[in-house]
Amino acid sequence: MSELDQALSALRSHEGVEHVLVLGRDGLLIQHAGSGSLDAETVSAMVPGIASAAGGLAGAAGHGGVSTVVMRFDGGVAVVDVLSPDLLLAVLLRDGVGFAPLLRDLARERPRLSTLV
Summarize pLDDT for 55-101 with one digit per residue, the tens. Answer: 999 999 999 999 999 999 999 999 999 999 999 999 999 999 999 99
Instruction: Say which residues have a Cβ less than 8 Å from residue 78's Cβ, sequence separation at least 6.
Output: 70, 71, 90, 91, 92, 93
**Residue 51: domain span:** 3-115
pLDDT value at position 89? 97
pTM above 0.85, yes or no: yes
CATH number for position 40: 3.30.450.30
Q: Find all residues with CB under 8 Å of 38, minimum gap 6, and list them.
A: 18, 19, 32, 92
Nearest residue to 90 (alpha-carbon basis) of 60, 113, 64:
113
Q: What is the pLDDT of residue 36?
A: 81
Q: Structurally, how many domains does the chain consist of?
A: 1
- 44: exposed, middle or buried (C-beta count within 10 Å: 0-12, 13-18, 19+)? buried
pLDDT more than 70, % of the chain: 100
